[in-house]
Amino acid sequence: MMRKALFWCGSYMLLAMIPLIVALIVRPEESRALGAVFGAFLGLLALGVLAMQVVISGRHRWFAESLGFDNILQFHRQTGICALLLVLAHPILMITTRPEWIEFLDPRDETLRAVTLILLLAATLLLVASSLWRTRFGLAYEWWRALHGMLSLFIVSAGLGHALMVQNYTAGMATSLALIGIIAVPLLLLLDSRLFRVWRNRKRPWRVVDNHQERGDAATLTLKAEGDHRLVFAPGQFFWITLGKTPFSLQQHPFSMVSSAADSDRVAFTAKRLGDFTDTLPDVEPGARAYIEGPYGAFVPDADDDAGAVMIAGGIGITPIMSILRTWRDWGKKAPLWLLYANDTWDEATFRDELAELEEILPLEVIYVISDPKPEWQGESGMIDEALVRRRLPADDGRREYFICGPGPLMNAAEKALLHIGVAPTRIYSDRFDIV
């Protein structure tokens, strides 16, 4: 895993530097101060990083799929901050070195150029801020996603136009065409992920065939394909779903599969009411049309490993783990399994009845942890921490895999506890629902 991560990080940095490398083929027409040269280089590097941001956010399976989609998006978020710093550093260095270049931002000198550059800076600030603090701004996910795509298209296109118009490091037809070709690839990938992929998906509709309530104020929806297409997935993965008559909708949301991977004809997901799109799911009636994009994710156990697995879930974070357990039941797997399942109350423990049945079929031990128990509760209480992990889980054997899914604080505490007892980071898989 570490080697793959280093490979993809290195590939990202190399690809992000291509605009700068191409531009360096052409020398500037005049000698310049070091600050101006460095500022120009930062601008070209910013263009490359922004273009790569478009690539890694497009849910392309060929890009670092084995690292996990949530890890890729965390990387995307951090490199987005770096891109913003590069974009801001570029004009600061240029204007500090040559104060007269402030005219580039003066609408009275050249209106189109100045307005474009000001909008470019503002769009980059808005793009990063809306991604980091979307919930604080009260911006609904679907509107944020549309805004994110439009801003990305504008920023990369405007950045390319600015680089070509300045021409100090992009002069010459060959260099200009090469730079246009390089940046056109991410832009086409953006259009593919937001438009062409949706267009292709319209021919693969699904139908809701069942919708029933679960414990913990959750609902499970089961979908069946309309036609011969199937969804072949691995246990623990997730998909993006659009409910409605058309796939061209802003309402596209990610959910973990909760059904067994042994049945590709039907797929089910479970969601808890959280005050957003999930509030509408209990009202979805059988017969409603849906569109699926996926599967995605690397939250997948090694099916050939007999060392077993430890799973730690909190609340509705049980969903990908249920897919794993149901799949291993259907496959007849006999590797040992342990599940730490945390909930606020016993009544909120989703799937607890089925988990009891699975304990009779699989070599599975389920350990419930209730943070707000009633006086008669006899099991574990409080929070999942290192002491609980040491007390209730077997000693690490150096081979066993660990899977964590739930609220952020629980996942952070569980990861910390596992690392403290000596579990290698490469054997810890975390699936964070709060992508943005």
Residue pLDDT, tens place only, 240-271:
999 988 888 878 889 999 999 998 889 999 99
Distance CA 38, CA 197 (A): 39
Indicate if the pLDDT at residue 433 is higher than 80.
Answer: no
Distance CA 200, CA 240 (A): 15
Write out pLDDT tens, residues 158-177.
998 888 888 777 777 777 88
3-state SS class at 168:
coil
Find, among 209, 344, 227, the residue nearest to 269 by Cα.
209
Mean pLDDT value of segment 182-192: 88
3-state SS class at 49:
helix
Which residues in 205-230 are b (16+ Cβ under 10 Å) and which e? bbebeebeebebbbbbbbbebeeeee
Percent of the chain with pLDDT over 70: 96
Q: Band the pLDDT of 66: cuts 50, 70, 90.
A: low
pLDDT at 251: 82
Write out pLDDT tens, residues 10-32.
888 888 888 888 877 766 555 56
Q: Band the pLDDT of 64: cuts 50, 70, 90.
A: low
Cis peptide bond upstream of 375, omega within 30: no
Cα of first residue to Cα of last residue in the chain, in angstroms, is 24
The 8-class DSSP code of residue 277 comes to: G
Find, among 206, 274, 286, the residue nearest to 240 by Cα.
206
DSSP string of 407-436, one letter each residue: -HHHHHHHHHHHHHTT--GGGEEEE-S---
pLDDT at 111: 85
Mean pLDDT value of segment 129-150: 86
